Amino acid sequence: MKFEFDQNYKKISEIIGMRKRGELVVDYSYQRRAVWGEKDWIRLVETILLNLVVPSVYFWNSETDPETGKAILHIVDGQQRITAIQNFVNGEFKLKGNYLLEEESKQRFGNKYFSDLSPDEKKDFWDYKLSVIEIARDVKIDDIKNMFKRLNLTDYNLNNQERRNVISGEFAALARELAENEFWSKEGKELFRANIVKRMQDVEFCASLILLYKRGIIDQQTDKALNDAYRDYESNYDDADKDRNAVLKAMELVDKFICDKTLPFLRRTSQLYTLFSVVFYIMSKNKTISDKEVKKFYAFVDIYDKFKNEENVTLDLSLEERNLYDLFKKYKQASSEGTRKLINRMARFDVLKHFLLEDDSTDELVSSLCEKLEKM
């Protein structure tokens, strides 16, 4: 990989102007999602206000606007720095004193928004010049992606899913598409917390669901299965529509089980994966989800939440209660460690499938066990 590039300097005012005019864009097909938090934003702004050096940003002169004839630059590296600068100018955060590193900064800029800066400070901020590396237009996209991977092997390393996101192709695109579905982020029923979304672990989970449908329950202690899938289906993914429809159907069925009571349980990706595995099993039998299965799942979560993963010889249980207790003990142990091991995934699947579809425990039996578990 060898290509031409130029180094120059652009004022912050120029870069923000380019962003507003659409002349500087982010290509999310290989970028990671925003990883920086407020502390990182504040310390970057502090560096600029103190007129210290900020690492170079990398732009790729990849295309020309057919209407204006102006070049459109893609941000290869520097997205988060530019976003932080934009957010500060737009008044989206203030310079909290406890995040500033220098005493001078705390005295001059502490707890100030951009609008609170003096006219001279604002002018200096706008005039600050960022070092820009502009990559020539004739560089291929694969080389750009390789550069992005290398540039981000830093203190805040890309996680495995962010590295996979550099790979284009239909499988990668489908995983991203499924992760963007409103199913995951319905108000009051958000399944993925912000930190999971930020590091693209929601995309990783959706990729795992595709494999769950295609191959059944598999061992994912390592990333080999996902890495192979991203490569194997990069250019030839004939079952994309079929897999998409299956996962969307499963999401529709899983939604029946989500309520305030079950949401904390399902926010654990290992438990959510288990529920999806049972739902895919139900789909394979051409069955649907009835109120009976939903009610039993509520009871399942109730027992799970009260269950302590330890022997309690003083617990006075009937034979039926003991059988149910042992069933949940098996599930709890398979949820305690090595949750991506095949043996533990299968154990959880077997228990949940049995309880939802085969177990004939009465409401009275479940209530009785719950009462006794609460006293443990």
Output the pLDDT for position 140.
74
Residue 369 has, within 13 A of its CA and on its CB side, a CA count of: 27
364-370 contacts at long range (C-beta below 8 A, 24 or more positions apart): 365/320, 365/321, 365/324, 366/299, 366/302, 366/303, 366/324, 368/318, 368/321, 369/303, 369/317, 369/321, 369/324, 369/325, 370/302, 370/303, 370/306
pLDDT value for 198: 67
Q: Which residues are CB-contacts of 231 (< 8 A; sequence separation ≥ 6)?
A: 167
Residue 149 near residue 163 (C-beta atoms within 8 A): yes
Closest residue by Cα to residue 222 from 82, 341, 306: 341
Which of these ranges, 220-224, 259-263, 313-317, has the smallest mean pLDDT?
313-317
- The residue-averaged pLDDT of 158-184 equals 79
**pLDDT the model gives residue 190:** 87
The torsion defined by the Cα of 352, 356, 359 and 363, in degrees rounded to 10, comes to: 120
Instruction: Kindly state the average pLDDT of the residues 307-315.
Output: 62
**Higher pLDDT residue, 152 or 260?**
260
pLDDT grade for 35, boundaries at 50, 70 and 90: low
- 132 forms bridges with which residues in the sheet? 8, 57
Residue 82 above 50 pLDDT? yes
pLDDT band at 34 (very low <50, low <70, confident <90, very high): low
Tokens representing 197 are 């979304």
The pLDDT of residue 282 is 96
- Nearest CA to 345 out of 280, 296, 283 is that of 280
**Average pLDDT of span 84-103:** 91
Q: Rounded CA gap, 129 and 54, in Å?
A: 9
Of 160, 165, 159, the C-alpha closest to 179 is: 165
CB 193 within 8 A of CB 253: no
Confidence of residue 51 (pLDDT cuts 50, 70, 90): confident
pLDDT at 32 over 60: no
**pLDDT-wise least confident of 105-119, 127-141, 344-358:** 127-141
Q: How many of the other CB atoms lie within 10 Å of CB of 253?
A: 18
| Residue 104 pLDDT class (50, 70, 90 cuts) | confident
Q: Where are the beta strands (DSSP E) in the chain?
A: 5-11, 24-26, 57-64, 71-77, 129-135
Flag the least confident range among 139-143, 271-275, 276-280: 139-143
Q: 84 is written with which tokens?
A: 């932080």
How far is Cα 165 from Cα 201, in angstroms, rounded to an integer? Answer: 11
Please tell me the least confidently modeled range out of 81-90, 146-155, 286-295, 352-361: 146-155
* pLDDT score of 313: 47
The average pLDDT across 54-72 equals 77
Separation between Cα atoms, residue 133 and residue 60, nearest integer Å = 8
- Euclidean distance between CA atoms 288 and 252, whole angstroms: 11
Handedness of CA 106, 56, 61, 77 (dihedral sign): negative
The residue that leads in pLDDT, 185 or 257, is: 257
In 3D space, the residue among 335, 321, 223 whose CA is nearest the CA of residue 269 turns out to be: 335
Average pLDDT over residues 342-349: 96
Paired strand residues for 60: 74, 135
Average pLDDT of the chain, as a whole number: 86
Residue 117 has pLDDT above 70, yes or no: yes
- Among candidate residues 208, 359, 194, the one with its CA nearest the CA of residue 270: 208
Q: Note whether 178 and 206 are within 8 A (CB).
A: yes
What is the token pair recorded at 182? 């409103």
The region that residue 329 occupies, defined by phi over 0 for left and psi between -120 and 50 for alpha, beta otherwise, is alpha
For 334, list phi and psi in degrees, rounded to 5: -75, -10
| CA–CA gap between residue 42 and residue 95 (Å, rounded) | 6
Q: How far is CA 287 from CA 92, 184, 217, 293, in A?
A: 49, 24, 19, 12
Tokens representing residue 214 in the block: 């295609």
SS3 for 5? strand
| Predicted confidence (pLDDT) per residue in 190-227, tens digit | 898 877 776 778 889 999 999 999 999 999 988 889 88
